[in-house]
Structure 1
């Protein structure tokens, strides 16, 4: 029964995110909001909302291992498997702005996270914590990132956007999609956390391992499905920036909000994963600078790296 509830939770997260993005994007378009701004904010929030919900619910239920492992595991999954598989299907073109600003910002956010969890090393205390003050610092960084994307959207706003009258029926449908999608995300997140925790205890797995594996992959399915679908349609300009933006959102907003709600004790094992996340982000930056694209060879390397990582952390547990 626990496994069924876990699958139901993932289904609610994925479909909820899909309906939330569809409904809120339609409302934004009818209000004459720039398509770029919709992509950078609403769509980014929608695809990352499963991670946000799961980590915040986990923090409220004192499952810090799931909350932190989910974010770090999702980011590693996005950088390696999502980008890797997508590049294998169709090479990814990388925008210059992404190389110059967004990937370095992801690197900065990852390094900031490593510093904030290193209390025992830097402050000589008995335990590592992401405290409420750490969470507020992450949220301030997120505010800076939001300011940046709003500026990008403002400068790039299309001049030929026309306001269209939206029928009342469509307004009602879009509101229903938005509210219903959000409700499904919240309820699904609660199911995932509770079910995954029960599975962890049943198999003697740590909460951190469950967060890094089952929960991380499950909450990253919207990014994977979106990226693979775009690659199959040969959308060469698929924004690697969307994945990078999702990773920034996960560290700064998700962990920031979760730790502000409830301080998160840090499992010492997670240090390896955070350092690996930083290294992989650096590798992604190097790959992106080669001809401004990630080809099939780089994609294969990234996908294989994730498989090896999974084997390692399962053995480590």
Structure 2
């Protein structure tokens, strides 16, 4: 019964998150919120909402390992999605659509993750109003990075670069706002169910909460990104596919601030298991590989070498998953 509820909550989360992304796209277009900053915040925030709800619920049921490992596990799975889709559609050479904004976003995500990995390894224990000082610095790093990317003149291509999607024309702004609110409420409930059932699965099977959060729950909450990336590729908007993954990963890191603010047992990164550090290191390695892959493919290397970076990312993802399980 627990597994049925978990799968049901995952399916509801995926379907609703896809609708949420559609409404977010409509709101962005109809309110003229276009542009790199608004686009990343709106779309990445929409597809990252499942991670927010599951992590907050995990903290409320006193399972910080699930909460934090869900964030790093989702980022791991997102990079795996990008590599897997790039490998599957290798003839389209998706990564060649990456520009300086994508590289800047990937580098920002790398440094945010690196900072949190250091804090997990050497927790300072400092806090301001119950929030770890490292989390305040994390938010500051995010804001500074986004301002830098915005001022550099880079941008992310909208989902429909040449013409709006037909279904978007049929959705009014009022309908989109109401739909967004309803979808967000459904995801709040479904995401909460994912955390509760995930915690129950960990207790029933003896599998660590860190592995459940980084593998099962993270995979389920990252499925909306998978759908969004596949849709973007089918529309030949490879830039949006890359931007959604990298933007979501950066946005996901801010969830750690929310987790820390809700958790009452002190700085949350000081109480997590070593498996969470393994997940963070895995994200660092995959992020570095994606950055290297983008730089390599944009140098017009031979076609035979194109798929190698993505294949390496997939291999490291499974090695990271095994490391998380081993440290659990």
| Inter-CA distance 234–259: structure 2 relative to 1 (3 Å threshold) | same
> Can you give the 5+ residue segments of structure 2 that lack an aligned partner in the other structure?
none
8 Å CA contact retained: 2:131, 2:261: yes
| Residues 139 and 231 (structure 1), Cα distance of their counterparts in 2 relative to 1, 3 Å cut | same
Shift in alpha-carbon separation, 1:231–1:23, aligned structure 2, 3 A: closer
Distance 1:135 1:12, change over 3 A: farther
In structure 1, C-alpha distance between the alignment counterparts of 2:71 and 2:306, rounded to whole Å? 26
Query: In the alignment, is the contact (CA less than 8 A) between 2:275 and 2:324 conserved in 1?
Result: no
Pair 1:107 & 2:118 matched: no
Aligned position for 1:222: 224
1:141-160 equivalence runs, <5 A: 141-148=141-148, 151=151
Picking from 274, 286, 299, the partner of 2:310 is: 299
Structure 1 unaligned blocks of 5 or more: none
State the shift of 1:45 in Å: 0.9
**110-119 vs 205-214, which moves further:** 110-119
In structure 2, the CA distance between the partners of 1:301 and 1:34, relative to structure 1 (3 Å rule), is same
Per the alignment, residue 279 of structure 2 pairs with 273
Partner residue in 2 for 1:261: 262
Q: How does 1:237-252 map to 2 (within 5 A)?
A: 237-251=239-253
Structure 1 SS opposite 2:33: coil
User: Deviations along 1:163-215, whole A, 9 cap, x unmatched?
Assistant: xxx99982432122111111011111110000000000000111111111101
User: With structure 1 as the length reference, what TM-score do the two structures score?
Assistant: 0.84
TM-score (normalised: structure 2): 0.81
Aligned to 1:82: 81
Q: Does structure 1 retain, via aligned residues, the 8 Å contact 2:71–2:256? A: yes
Query: Residues 134, 32 of structure 1: CA spacing in aligned structure 2 closer, same or farther, 3 A cutoff?
Result: same
CA shift at 1:236, angstroms?
Answer: 3.9
Query: How far apart are 1:139 and its partner, in Å?
Result: 2.3
2:320 counterpart (298, 305, 309): 309
Which residue matches 1:175?
177
2:110, 2:204 → 1: CA distance? 36
The whole-number CA distance in structure 1 between the counterparts of 2:169 and 2:84 is 40
* Cα offset, 1:114, TM superposition: 1.4
Partner of 2:21: 21
Shift of 1:238: 4.2
1:21-63 per-residue CA deviation (whole Å, 9 max, x = no partner) reads: 2223223322222264553221111111111221122123221
Cα deviation digits, residues 55-90 of structure 1 (max 9, x gap): 1221232210001110111111122x2112111122
Q: Secondary structure at the match of 2:172?
A: helix
Shift of 1:13: 2.0
Question: What is the aligned-residue RMSD (CA, Å)?
Answer: 3.1
Distance in 2 (alpha carbons) for counterparts of 1:118 and 1:249: 22
After superposition, residues 122-133 of structure 1 pair within 5 angstroms as 123=124, 131-133=131-133
